[in-house]
Copies of this chain bind each other. A is one copy, B any other.
């Protein structure tokens, strides 16, 4: 279901967060859909349950999912979820803009790049 790459330096739990975030933002996982159990994901990836738990916990604090003890974890009802996603997306965006401007790329070039997508 999920795939991770040990190399890349990125923490495993971070990779999980991004992958799940991607699945939610692209609509592959619908709201209130159940996520696979912590232990199941851990076993499938050959990873420690704590690592998966950490990812789920982080996603819950972002408002993307909610966990019900003894029941499971579910995709958040898209009110909070979308807000959180957009907030995060804007943060990444502004960061990349700062970086681009810092490299001498002009504003107009960025605007054109947006329109060409």
Contact = CB atoms under 8 A, between A and B. Distances in A.
Interface string A101-112: 111110100110
A117 B102 contact: no
A78 to B, nearest CB: 10
Interface string A31-72: 000000000000000000000000000000100001111010
Contacts of A22: 102-103
Given A25-B102, A93-B110, A95-B96, 20 more contacts: A9-B67, A9-B68, A22-B102, A22-B103, A25-B99, A26-B102, A26-B103, A27-B104, A82-B103, A85-B103, A89-B99, A89-B100, A89-B102, A89-B103, A90-B105, A93-B96, A93-B113, A107-B114, A107-B115, A111-B114
Interface of A: 6-7, 9, 11, 18, 21-22, 25-27, 61, 66-69, 71, 82, 85-86, 89-90, 92-105, 107, 110-111, 113-115, 117
